[in-house]
Structure 1
Amino acid sequence: MSTAAASSGRPHVLVVPFPPMGHLLPLLDFSHLLSTRHCVRITVTVTPSCLHLLSDFLASTPLAAALPLPLPDPSAPEHAGQIAPGTHHALLAAPLSTLRGSLVSWARSQLDPPTTVLSDFFLGSAQLVADDLRVPRVAFYGVGAFTTAALEQLWNSTLPLDPNNDAALSALPGSPSFPYGHVPSVVRSYVPGDPDWELVREGFLLNSRAWGAVVNTFDAMESDFLEHLKRRFGHGRVWAVGPVANSGCRVGERPTAEAEELFSWLAGCPERSVLYVCFGSMYKPPLSQAAALGAALEASGVRFVWAVSADVAVFPDGLEERARARDKGRVVCGWAPQMEILRHASVGAFVTHCGWNSTLEGVAAGVTLVAWPMKADQFIDARLVVDVHGAAVRAAEGEDAVPDSGALARVFAGAVEGAELGGVRAKARTLAAAAGDAVEEGGSSWLDFERMVKELEAVSAP
């Protein structure tokens, strides 16, 4: 780095993402916005197995660079950014927390050292890096404000929770409560005394010490919970900047020949006639569940696109052939261009696990959400879109659920064709308009983003 560049006064943000895709991509979207809109230098720490995922981001963000992480044991799958079978992905925070010394040494060796640390909320240990460097840290929450507030109360409560009682979140707006099985799985999986889990909990507790918090949401969707977080953290530096994927800078998505064929088929479908089904990038449905889901799709009579992001297809035998023969649907095994699918004029409803990225993408597209929460924060997200906003309907719940295919078929048909869902569709369109307005110049998220940058530049100035 040249001395001229070092003395330019340009902010330099050290970004510490959490490796799984659902965490990585929204933080990269936000970092891209930060860099391209305000000429901010970005250095992204990255695990070896995730380095290839940064190629599109680096190509589209000229002021960004990658810093590969020297993990303690790169041969171990969990240390390479992969999730070992049977373990909660939060445990990735344990090996990543050991990188404090390496990150501090790297930062101090730079002619243009970082002026801010920006990290995923699963990596609260980055607060200690910021402390060592005496720079502000911003925690990035790739979940909603409702979930953020719930996690804040839960991690500060007496753990483990009693599985026989509901978890009462009395401090939150509306005093919601959740059955034990609906509590975020990262809290339910916590094992008191286990060294790795204690590091996970310590990281979440450190988030309350962050100088600021960025939440991938928008004011019209979660204003009450955003105000709660400002009171909870004791300062006003809580900024709703989402949906960040609605800003037109999505990274990591590339067209394929299969996608071109899919969109050609969608172009021939009537407006709002297609049901899109996807449960996220990490979920592979059990065979019995997939069979019930496939039977329901066929029995519903609606057109559909069913995407499973898994190494091995689980679609029922013959489903794809029958769907094509009847011109009723398409099945996708592997990556699917979800945002483009949801925004297509022929797509009217979205069967989703209610992961926050998918929830925001569905909301922004204005489709009717058909909620089937599985785990993690998904029950909270489903509560928000179904009960708080009335912009979604329920299909089933639980990752092991095998619902009656006939009942499920009626839900699917109603989501696409049912006249009784007129109110739900209207609320979904209203929420979509608010999401679009939020990220436009002068919108709530646009203004929060500008306020965040202004305050960050002030506190980072020499």
Structure 2
Amino acid sequence: MSTGDMSSRRPHVLVIAFPSQGHLLPLLDFAHLLSTRHRVPITVAATPSSLSLLSAFLASTPLATALPMPHLDPSAPEHAGQLAPGTHHALLAVPLSTLRGPLVSWARSQRHPPTAVLSDFFLGSAQLVADDLRIPRVVFYSSGAFATAVIEPLWSGTLPLDPNNPVVLADLPGSPSLPYGHVPSVVRSYVPGDADWELAREGFLLNSRAWGAVLNTFDAMEGEFLEHLKRRFGHGRVWAVGPVSDSGCRVGGQRPTAGAEELFSWLAGCPPRSVLYVCFGSMYKPPPAQAAALGTALEASGVRFVWAVAADVAVLPEGLEERVRGRGRVVRGWAPQMEILRHAAVGAFVTHCGWNSTLEGVAAGVTLVTWPMKADQFIDARLVVDVHGAGVRAAEGEGAVPDPTTLARVFVDAVDGAELAGVRDKARTLAAAAVEAVEEGGSSWLDLERMAKELEAVAAA
């Protein structure tokens, strides 16, 4: 057999990326891991807006290349007015459908064409590209298994939504009941029956046809929900490979701010586990009343803290930074979150419970102080607090303005309150399990091995 014939029987994965940092970075981390460990060529179809993040991935992944897709951007002028603003998934589904033909034509023109498609779960319509090419599609879930298990039946229509009643998920482990406001906003943001709803629903339902599913989670954290998904999908090709950011393959991110060196110098002078880190993600801007309550609580608590806020947020309580100088730091713009969380001085993390932040906090072994805002964050908070006992609740909702005195007490307890010693122990236990999962022979390490073997078998068939 010639060298060319041999190469054509090796896996080649076409990655179709969703242009949002919270979705794109873990997908790139996973693609990097798959490619570098198993020598799998990767081609990433991405928007121009994603190329800055993609450059780090390409530099560290020798077998990866980029396939620029200028018209994949839903904000492009040619897509203006096609769908109502604010429906992110539906807006993207339209331009992706226009690229079905070009992607298929590109794939068929390659000497070593793709043998599988890997795409974000927001891009269910990528299934149609895989169908045209007659190759398997693997859906990448950037949410956890619990959240995925909740979203799946909501889109299927088997659990109709009623704003006046909770949703009872009787088939899930523990039969959880969700208040309507805790239902993932990716479902609640649409009006059932209208064009956006139908388009988004079609995309999510296409995920159920995927050949396989990869989740950025690990067995010790979500094993029962992973088993549930295997039963729901009707096959065993459900692989938990996370935390992908804990595998030594972090390829995305931004440059630290100019004050990062000074910040870590300050942290080095703080006692172990004495600092509270506060961050609600790079996209969230707290309304003035909320920021004021949070700032007042941090000041009143007396705890050491690092508060990361968006670069253009200027609603901190007047004079706060001067009054807390010496025990508090405010970071404006992007913060090196993983490095902060893993610093020995940091003991607790006030978080919106986005899945990436949740996993990073879990892997660092800090106590999670949960303040979910939207999306799947209420479910992630429930997983950490109720299922694992590794966190405590602070508040919930984008419009919440908690009592500063009560919030200050939560902050004090989270850092060193005697009554939360058990919570801190459980957080450390979960962190140890996360480390074990990605080490050789761990559950996530083995799942990646199994997935790679399946992809090799498909390519060789």
TM-score under structure 2 length normalisation:
0.95
Give the Cα–Cα distance (whole angstroms) in 1 for the partners of residues 9 and 401 of structure 2: 58
Distance 1:434 1:7, change over 3 A: closer
Quote the Cα distance in structure 1 between the aligned partners of 2:314 and 2:42. Answer: 38
- Offset of 1:72 from its aligned partner? 6.8
Give me the whole-angstrom Cα distance separating, in 1, the residues matched to 2:87 and 2:157. 21
Q: Which residue identity is paired with 2:411? A: F
* SS of equivalent residue, structure 1 residue 348: strand
Equivalent residue, structure 2, for 1:400? 399
Query: How far is the alpha carbon of 1:370 from its aligned partner?
Result: 0.2
The structural deviation recorded for 1:158 is: 5.2
- Structure 1 residues 231 and 332: CA distance shift in structure 2, 3 A: same
Partners of 2:23 and 2:90 lie apart in 1 by 14
For 2:287, the equivalent position in structure 1 comes to 286
Q: 1:456 to 1:297 in 2, by over 3 A?
A: same
CA change 1:75–1:364 in 2 (3 A) is closer
CA distance in structure 2 between the aligned counterparts of 1:5 and 1:250, rounded to whole angstroms: 33
Question: Which residue number in structure 2 is paired with residue 320 of structure 1?
Answer: 321
For 1:318 and 1:232, the matched residues in 2 are separated by 54
Counterpart in 2 of 1:277?
278
Return the TM-score normalized by structure 1. Answer: 0.95
Partner of 2:51 in structure 1? 51
Where do 1:13-162 residues align within 5 Å?
A: 13-71=13-71, 76=76, 87-94=86-93, 95-157=95-157, 161-162=161-162
Question: Within 1, Cα distance between the matches of 2:410 and 2:77?
Answer: 40
1:301 maps onto 2:320 in alignment: no
Deviation at 1:317, TM superposition (A): 2.4
| Partner residue in 1 for 2:362 | 363
Q: Secondary structure at the match of 1:71?
A: helix
CA offsets, 1:17-52, max 9 Å, x none? 111100000000000001110111111111111111
Give the gaps of 5 or more residues in structure 2: none
The equivalent residue for 1:386 is 385
Quick check: 1:313–1:333 contact (8 Å CA) kept in 2? no
Structure 1 Cα separation of the partners of residues 75 and 212 of structure 2: 35
SS where residue 285 of structure 1 aligns?
coil
Query: Structure 1: any 5+ residue segments left out of the alignment?
Result: none
Q: Structure 1 residues 380, 156: closer, same or farther in 2, change over 3 A?
A: same
What amino acid does structure 2 have at the position aligned with 1:101? Answer: G
Offset, 1:4: 4.2
Look up the equivalent residue of 2:76 and give its one-letter code.
Answer: A
| Shift, 1:401, TM fit | 0.2
Change (3 A) 1:248 1:79: farther
In structure 1, the residue matched to 2:421 is: 422
- Amino acid of the structure 1 residue aligned with 2:422: G
Separation in structure 1 between the aligned mates of residue 15 and residue 110 of structure 2, nearest angstrom: 15
Say if 1:281 and 1:309, in contact at 8 Å, map to a contact too.
Answer: yes
Shift of 1:441: 0.2
C-alpha offsets along residues 336-376 of structure 1, whole Å, 9 cap, x if unaligned?
00000000000000000111000000000000000001110
Query: Could you tell me whether the CA contact under 8 Å between 2:18 and 2:122 is conserved in 1?
Result: yes
Alpha carbons 1:97, 1:123 under 8 Å: kept = no
Counting matched residue pairs gives 456
Aligned residue identity for 1:435? A
Q: Contact 2:72–2:92 (CA<8 Å) still a contact in 1?
A: no
Q: After TM superposition, give the deviation of residue 314 of structure 1 in Å.
A: 3.3
Q: Secondary structure at the match of 2:259?
A: helix
What's the CA shift for 1:86? 6.5
What is the alpha-carbon distance in structure 2 between the residues aligned to residue 140 and residue 9 of structure 1? 23
Moved more, 360-369 or 47-56: 47-56
Alignment of 1:120-269 (within 5 A): 120-157=120-157, 161-253=161-253, 254-269=255-270
Deviations 1:295-334 (A, max 9, x none): 000000000000123544432222222222xx01111111
What is the percentage of aligned positions where both structures have the same residue?
A: 81
In 2: Cα distance, 1:290 partner to 1:210 partner: 43
* Whole-angstrom distance in 2 between the partners of 1:66 and 1:332: 33
- 8 Å CA contact 2:301–2:409 kept in 1: the answer is yes
Alignment partners' CA distance in 2, 1:145 and 1:201: 19
| Shift in CA distance, 316/86, structure 1 to aligned 2, threshold 3 Å | farther
User: Partners of 2:410 and 2:74 in 1: how far apart?
Assistant: 46
Letter of the 1:371 partner, please give it. Answer: T
> Relative to structure 1, is the Cα distance of residues 436 and 78 closer, same or farther in structure 2, using a 3 angstrom cutoff?
farther
**Partners of 2:271 and 2:30 in 1: CA distance:** 35
Write the distance in 1 (CA, Å) between the matches of 2:285 and 2:414. Answer: 23
Specify the SS of the correspondent of 2:148: helix
Distance, in Å, in 1 between the alignment partners of 2:434 and 2:151 is 24
1:409 is matched with: 408
Q: Is the 8 A contact 2:146 2:379 kept in 1?
A: yes
Deviations 1:404-461 (A, max 9, x none): 0000000001101201101000000000000000000000000011001101111221
Q: How many Å separate the matches in 1 of 2:442 and 2:397? A: 36
Cross-structure match for 2:339: 340
Q: Equivalent residue for 1:442? A: 441
Letter in 2 for 1:438: A
Moved more, 260-269 or 69-78: 69-78
For 2:20, the aligned partner's letter is P
